[in-house]
Amino acid sequence: SPGEERGVDFVKAIYEVGGASTADESLMRHSGREYGYVLKGTLGIQIGFREYELGPGDSIAFDSTKPHRLFNKGDVPVHAIWFVVGRDSDGRSRV
């Protein structure tokens, strides 16, 4: 989402079958807050030690400074709308 607004990412995320935001057993964290809405598929989300499963029409919001990982839990690609606000310029760290 290029533009004038700094610290904001607004994207359509697609996770292919077996796809994830980080490698297995690896979590990431960064500044900001995330908001997500699943359009298609089954999205797994690990935040710290908790795991959530979202399907079409489900949404989530969480503090991005908490270690997290997004991954496809199903047999079709996951399509989701993702909005991250307050992210510094790629201040990501892997945990």
> What pLDDT, on the 0 to 100 scale, is given for residue 1?
52
HSE-up (13 A, CA, CB side) for residue 4:
0
Under DSSP, the state recorded for 90 is T
> What pLDDT, on the 0 to 100 scale, is given for residue 7?
76
Task: Name the token pair of 27.
Answer: 């979590």
Spatial separation of the C-alpha atoms in residues 82 and 41, rounded to whole Å: 15
Q: Residue 36: beta bridge partners?
A: 60, 82
Whether the CB-CB separation of 43 and 16 falls below 8 Å is answered with no
> What pLDDT, on the 0 to 100 scale, is given for residue 63?
96
pTM over 0.75: yes
